[in-house]
Amino acid sequence: MKIGYYPGCSLLGSSREFDESVRALAQALGLELVEVPDWSCCGASSAHVLDHRLALALPARILAQAEAAGLTEILAPCAACYNRLATARDTLEKDPALARDIEAVIGQPVTGNVRIVNVLEVLDRFRDVIPGRIAKPFAHKVACYYGCLLVRPAKVLKFDRPEDPRSMDRLMAAAGAEPREWNFKTECCGAAFSVTRTDLVAKMSGKIVADAVRHGAEAIIVACPMCQSNLDMRRPEINARLGAEHTIPVLFITQALGLAMGIDATKLGLQRHMVPAVMTPAAV
């Protein structure tokens, strides 16, 4: 099985382990990732703040590159990239005049014949395979944290339920974990304010970490690099704000599943986390 692959910028840098774990898992599941040729940045959370045409043109270039390479489906593990690509595709599909304008800007045609999928959607296709591949069950209580970008806007993404989504919980249950009911599955972590308004990120991410811990989670599972870095790298600020010493690790779904499938921790990039992601064996 083959699928287009758009890693996005963070997966080359601050979230390398997401890329590493996606690739490791894909290999283990027999999924071939075909990288979009000469891909560029999607504009993430910055372009749309300054210029709406730029915010469409940047993802449109990626769609055009993928189409030119004959890809019909792109896996975008980064939730921000997934969201920007899917939103741009939807906007251009609904507004042909705008689509012509953007085609002129990027100097390439965009037909919209590429579907954008996130990592949970792709893993769900292996739901019948995964249970048989679990070597070391991820026997921990987990809080599955989806964030905003995977589920909203629901009308565009049409993925899972906009409030209280379930797909990640199902995957983690298949990996042997015990997904906890908790309250902030789709609350915003503060996203792009990580550098500029660290105070707000600490407050918003703090609520999320505290609620996960309150509901007995031993790990927070994510599928978004921004969520991961805010909850992981900003942990000192979070703990300072909460006056707590939360040590709950934040793992990508691909890392947690990889571990359960017996893939080596370093191959999954677990050593790269700020909050140590060494999962002590659960008491049986």
Partner 1 sequence: MSSAPHAPAPGDSLAARLRHEAGINLNHCYQCGKCAAGCPVAEDMDNTSCQTLRLLQMERPELDRRVLESEAIWLCLGCETCSTRCPQEVEVAKVMDYVREASLALDLAHPRSRDILAFHRAFLDSIRATGRLFEIGLVANYKLRSRHLLKDVNLAPKMYVRGKLPLLPHFIKGRSGMKRIFQLTLGRKR
Partner 2 sequence: MSRIGVFTCHCGENIGATVDCAKVAERTRNVPGVVHSVDYKYMCSDPGQSMIKEAIKEHGLTGVVVAACSPRMHEPTFRNAVEEAGLNPYLCEMANLREHCSWVHEKNDATTDKAADLIRVMVEKVKHNTPLHPIRVPVTKRALVLGGGIAGIQAALDIANAGHKVVLVEKSPSIGGHMSQLSETFPTLDCSQCILTPRMVEAARHPNITLMTYAELEKLEGFIGNFKATIRRKARQVDEKLCTGCGLCITKCPNKKIPDEFNEGLGKRSAIYVPFPQAVPNKPVIDKTNCTFYKSGKCKVCEKMCPTGAIRFDQQDELVTLDVGAIVLATGFKVMRTDKFPEYGYGKYADVIDGLQFERLASASGPTLGVMKRPSDGKEPETVVFVACSGSRDRAKGVPYCSKICCMYTAKHAMLYKHKMHHGKAYVFYMDIRSGGKDYDEFVRRAIEEDDVKYIRGRVSRIYEEDGQLIVKGADTLMGGEPVEIKADMVVLATAVQAQDGSEELAQKLHVSYDPYHFFAESHPKLKPVETNTAGIYLAGACQAPRDIPETVAQASGAAAKVAALFSRDELTREPVVAVVNRLPAPTFSYCVGCFLCQSACPYQAIEAEEIRGRDGTLIKTLAKVNAGLCQGCGTCVSTCRTKAIDIQGFSNEQIFAELMTL
- Please give the residue ranges that form the binding site for partner 2 (CB under 8 A): 161-164, 183, 211, 214
- 189-218 residues near partner 1, rule: CB under 8 A: 190-193, 195-198, 200, 204
Q: What does the alpha-carbon distance between residue 24 and residue 173 come to, in Å, rounded to a whole number?
A: 20
Inter-residue contact 91 to 133 (CB < 8 Å): no
Q: What does the alpha-carbon distance between residue 85 and residue 91 come to, in Å, rounded to a whole number?
A: 10
Q: What does the alpha-carbon distance between residue 247 and residue 97 come to, in Å, rounded to a whole number?
A: 51
12 near partner 1 (CB under 8 A): yes
Question: Least distance from C-beta 284 to partner 1, angstroms?
Answer: 32
Three-class SS of residue 4? strand
- 149 to 178: interface string for partner 1, x by CB under 8 A: ---xxx-------xx---------------
Which of partner 2, partner 1, none does 170 bind, CB closer than 5 to 8 A by kind? none
- Give me 3's structure tokens: 């699928």
Place of tokens 């037909």: 111
Q: Pick from 2, 53, 158, 214 the residue near partner 1 by CB under 8 A.
A: 53
Q: Which of 80, 29, 109, 64 is nearest to 188 (CA)?
A: 80
Q: Which one of the spans 127-135, 165-173, 245-253, 270-278 is the region binding partner 1 (CB under 8 A)? A: 270-278
Question: Least distance from C-beta 89 to partner 1, angstroms?
Answer: 16
Q: Which of 71, 83, 67, 70 is nearest to 8 (CA)?
A: 83
Which of partner 2, partner 1, none does 92 bind, CB closer than 5 to 8 A by kind? none
Question: Least distance from C-beta 134 to partner 1, angstroms?
Answer: 28
The set of long-range contacts for 191-200, using a CB threshold of 8 Å and a minimum separation of 24, is: 191/45, 191/80, 191/148, 191/149, 191/226, 191/230, 192/44, 192/45, 192/46, 192/226, 194/226, 194/229, 194/230, 194/233, 194/234, 198/234, 198/237, 199/237
- 114 to 153: interface string for partner 1, x by CB under 8 A: ----------------------------------x---xx
238 near partner 1 (CB under 8 A): no
Question: Least distance from C-beta 46 to partner 1, angstroms?
Answer: 4
Place of tokens 């991410």: 205
How do 115-117 and 32-35 pair as beta strands? unpaired
* Nearer of residues 41 and 282 to partner 1, judged by Cβ: 41
* Nearer of residues 211 and 218 to partner 2, judged by Cβ: 211
Which of partner 1, partner 2, none does 139 bind, CB closer than 5 to 8 A by kind? none
Q: What does the alpha-carbon distance between residue 284 and residue 28 come to, in Å, rounded to a whole number?
A: 28
- Give me 211's structure tokens: 């609620």
46 near partner 1 (CB under 8 A): yes
Question: Least distance from C-beta 214 to partner 2, angstroms?
Answer: 8
Contact set with partner 1 (CB under 8 A): 9-10, 12-16, 38-41, 43-55, 57-58, 61, 104-107, 148, 152-154, 162-163, 186-188, 190-193, 195-198, 200, 204, 233, 271-274
